[in-house]
Amino acid sequence: MTPAARVQAAIELLDAVIAAAKADGAPADRLISDYFKNRRYAGSKDRRAVRELVFRAVRACGPVPPTGRAAMLRLAETDPVLVNLFDGSGHGPAVIKPGETVAQGGIAAEWLVSALRTSGIDEAEAASLLKRAPLDLRVNTLKADRASILLPVEAEWTAAPQGLRVAPGAPVETWDAFQAGQIEVQDTGSQLACLAIGAQPGETVLDLCAGAGGKTLAIAAAMDNRGKLVASDSDRARLARMAPRAIRAGAGMIETRLLNPGQELEVLADLADRCDAVLIDAPCSGTGTWRRNPEARWRLTTDRLARFAQVQARLLDVGANLVAPGGRLIYVTCSLLDEEGAGQIESFLARHDGWGADDIDLPLGEARGRGWRLSPGRDETDGFFIARLTRAC
Ligand SMILES: C[S@@+](CC[C@H](N)C(=O)[O-])C[C@H]1O[C@@H](n2cnc3c(N)ncnc32)[C@H](O)[C@@H]1O
């Protein structure tokens, strides 16, 4: 592909990313890989270059851009090389016309920037949400130890007890240590959220929104594969992705259960008042993960945010039913908005007698309301809100 053709391909992909953001459709990464499935003429360098252009343009536009071309023109405003590639050539984009629409820059839509501000995230901190994320690993203590693990590249220790940081883009999945289940890719913030659970061998633990098991695997390692660990989710496909990961990690203790949204307690009735710890890694707006999914900020509307908040409150209530007297309810979202964090905990405590919020003290982050918050700018982790609630005995 010529450099101009790569720009045109990126513009077409941006149109698809914009449409998917409005319709809550597929993520940008999937759209990009689907796009190239039907374009065998594109080599790996072309794919990399187009992908890079798409994500640079996504990061450059705050609110949802009107078109892919307008988004690319926004990026071109800071990149003279790109301007020259709007050359009207065979497969390239048309020459730029005077007065053409250029998408708006900034961090996100104004209402969202203002909601972040109200949640204590100023513009400088918010700008760091659009930087590149590091690549963090967790050493799986069921199979290895951070002090002695062998990796093909240099890795630095992170603040998480078994955390390592390697250069972004490292082909981790091809490494022997990965294939042997000694390491998992997991952001340091996510590892610290797991640390806050304090799971111990022999306990009964439920990971209510387990997804494909990122945190479940860390919990199994903390429990040394001893006790009862139930991983549930309402998404069959996500839950199904956990099994091969658990086998690779040697996490044989995990029992999975598929839930029906709104009727979660039916499948979990045997755990009522029985769990030492319940983790609610709730579905959320993902404002803390914009470094990895910058187009997520185009997906969020006030309505969608309100729906997330409703589901989070309901899942907190579901989880509370399952915790034994003296047990712990750990609430986690990868969001920096108080509506999905500190505010949820305030409302939970107002709704439920006999519960208290524990003091949390993790190696990174700071207190926020009755919980704890990690943020990309300050902590170099994904953004997380974490709270641990204890039920009175
Ligand atoms: C933040 S993700 C979980 C990520 C996962 N814990 C990890 O560490 O990789 C939130 C999950 O909540 C699930 N979810 C949404 N509604 C749910 C419900 N009513 N009951 C259980 N899980 C639900 C979603 O399918 C999604 O997998």
Q: How far is the CA of 18 from the centre of ligand 1 (A)?
A: 24
Segment 2-51, tens digit of pLDDT? 999 999 999 999 999 999 999 989 999 999 999 999 888 888 899 999 99
* Structure ipTM over 0.90, yes or no: yes
Query: Is the model's pLDDT at 332 over the cut of 90?
Result: yes
pLDDT at 83 over 90: yes
Q: Is 233 annotated in some ligand binding site? A: yes
Closest CA to 263 of 339, 337, 178, 321: 321
Give the closest residue (by CA) to ligand 1 atom 3: 211
Q: What distance in Å separates the CA atoms of residue 1 and residue 42, rounded to the nearest whole number?
A: 6
Mean pLDDT, residues 160-187: 97
DSSP state of 293: -
Active-site residue 61, yes or no? no
Q: Which residues line ligand 1 (CB under 6 A)?
A: 208-212, 214-215, 232-235, 238, 259, 261, 264, 281, 283, 311
Q: What is the distance in A from the centroid of ligand 1 to the CA of 100? A: 42
238 alpha carbon – ligand 1 mean position (Å):
9
Task: Estimate the share of the chain in helix, then strand, then coil, as percent rounded to the nearest 5.
Answer: 45, 15, 40
What's the pLDDT band for 162 if we cut at 50, 70, 90?
A: very high
Q: Is 281 annotated as a binding residue?
A: yes
Q: Whose CA is nearest to atom 27 of ligand 1?
A: 211
Q: Flag whether pLDDT at 104 surpasses 90.
A: yes
Note the pLDDT tens digit of each residue in 174-192.
999 999 999 999 999 999 9
Q: Tens digit of pLDDT for each residue in 341-383? A: 999 999 999 999 999 999 999 999 999 999 999 999 999 999 9
Q: Is the pLDDT of residue 90 over 90?
A: no
The span from the CA of 339 to the CA of 354, in Å, is 23
What is the average pLDDT score of the chain? 96
pLDDT score recorded for residue 39: 87
- From 61, 194, 275, 334, active-site residue: 334
Contact 332, 381 (CB under 8 A): no
Give the residue, out of 24, 215, 233, with the most ligand 1 atoms within 8 A of its beta carbon, to mutate for a pocket test. 233
If one residue of 24, 208, 209 were mutated to test the ligand 1 pocket, choosing by the most ligand atoms within 8 A of its CB, it would be 209
pLDDT tens, residue by residue, 243-289: 999 999 999 999 999 999 999 999 999 999 999 999 999 999 999 99
**Would you state the pLDDT for residue 40?**
84
- CA–CA separation, 271 vs 322, rounded Å? 6
pLDDT at 141: 98
Q: How far apart are CA 338 and CA 315, in angstroms?
A: 17
Query: Which residue owns the Cα nearest ligand 1 atom 1?
Result: 283
- Best residue among 234, 242, 267, 385 to mutate for probing ligand 1's pocket (most ligand atoms within 8 Å of CB) is 234
CA 374 to ligand 1 center in whole angstroms: 20
Q: How far is the CA of 283 from the centre of ligand 1 (A)?
A: 5
Ligand 1 closest atom vs CA 264: 20
Both tokens of residue 278? 């319940």
Nearest CA to ligand 1 atom 7: 214
Q: Is the pLDDT of residue 114 over 90?
A: yes
Mean pLDDT calculated for residue range 83-94:
93
How are beta strands 275-281 and 204-207 bridged, if at all? parallel
Instruction: State mean pLDDT over 235-249.
Output: 97
pLDDT at 68: 98
pLDDT score of 38: 84
What lies within 8 Å, CB to CB, of 148 at 6+ separation is none
The whole-number pLDDT of residue 255 equals 98
